[in-house]
Homo-oligomer: A and B are copies of this chain.
């Protein structure tokens, strides 16, 4: 499919769906292509290592010097010249003179070293304590060692100029440790997308809380930052759309065809409603458009529809903007299906599933269990638009939540 640029796209004349029905059902691929064609860039930031954890590298990290910068003792023990240990054994101990660590190790001499210390000149190996016995200032050596034994060679980790970490690395504990070890103190990372949330409905007060809470947690998971969270209807939507300072605007609720569904109209009047209605269930009243150069995502008020539309479109944008993989942020595994899944042709459909042993079973759909089923699920199966579903016993791809219950039963 050809990507549709939001610039080049010819906007359809706005049709107010209220009391008439959502105006269309764009294919999911068209909606994701719209997201992928957006071209707002966030400036990179330079941060210290503590602050950089959980961010994404905007530039590769290069070793400023060899790591380590010189040969070091890898073990605690005695630094010496390996060649002089040749022939040493329990039956033939060889004697070495113990000398101070600071100076170069002389012939038939050994110096006490701690792991991590610089290897003294003249030494090319570190003998562990188990291989020798100290008597006064004479070391009896019982084992021969090869050159390099017990030594962490200069540049073992990296040479000066080596790429240590690739661009787009999501910085975890081990990456921070490497940067610190290499003496890199500041990192160039992607900025955090500023997200404006407007929770607009539906009217049931409980759903307002649910969508706001859920979206706040989803945005944080995806590396974004909730710049503001407001609740309200038409006038709040209108003012939120035009105010500067956000990289994404998310409006949850009032996206449908009811008399109170003011979000599509507000966006169309303020700027451009690119798309209203997606061939996807849950989430078919989702929409998107631009306002003041910032993408605005209309998310259904129903929590499950809101979740699906966030993950597929709004989250895709936030993840991409922050340098993350834009696709669904879940590992995928294959599993057998215990019971059939029946899906509507023409709609991408999401089915929450739960493991029972190695297989998964659907646990209700948006129609039957709502957010309770999704919360109890271990993951979900996506049935593409042309498919009627899957028979029992089919092998299906399962997107795994990875949180949730500790034990699968």
Contact = CB atoms under 8 A, between A and B. Distances in A.
A207 B181 contact: yes
A118 to B, nearest CB: 9
A157 B372 contact: yes
B209 A169 contact: no
Given A128-B21, A258-B113, A331-B400, A173 B206 contact: no
A176 B370 contact: no
A173 B214 CA distance: 5
Contacts of A173: 213-215, 217-218, 221, 307
Give the size range of A's interface with the partner. Answer: 35 or more
Residue in A67, A134, A169, A172 whose Cβ sees the most chain B Cβ within 10 Å = A172
Contact of A261 (B114, B130, B175, B220): B114
Nearest to A63: B372
A340 interface: no
Interface string A138-170: 000000000000001000111000001110111
A21 B258 contact: no
A175 B204 CA distance: 19
B372 A158 contact: yes
Contacts of A170: 403-404, 406
B177 A307 contact: yes
A106 interface: no
A195 to B, nearest CB: 14
Interface in A85-128: 112-117, 128
A136 B393 CA distance: 53
Contacts of A117: 202-204
B206 A180 contact: yes
Given A49-B213, A157-B369, A172-B404, 19 more contacts: A20-B130, A21-B128, A53-B216, A76-B257, A77-B257, A156-B368, A164-B372, A165-B376, A168-B405, A168-B407, A169-B406, A174-B401, A176-B210, A176-B214, A177-B307, A180-B213, A181-B206, A181-B372, A333-B333
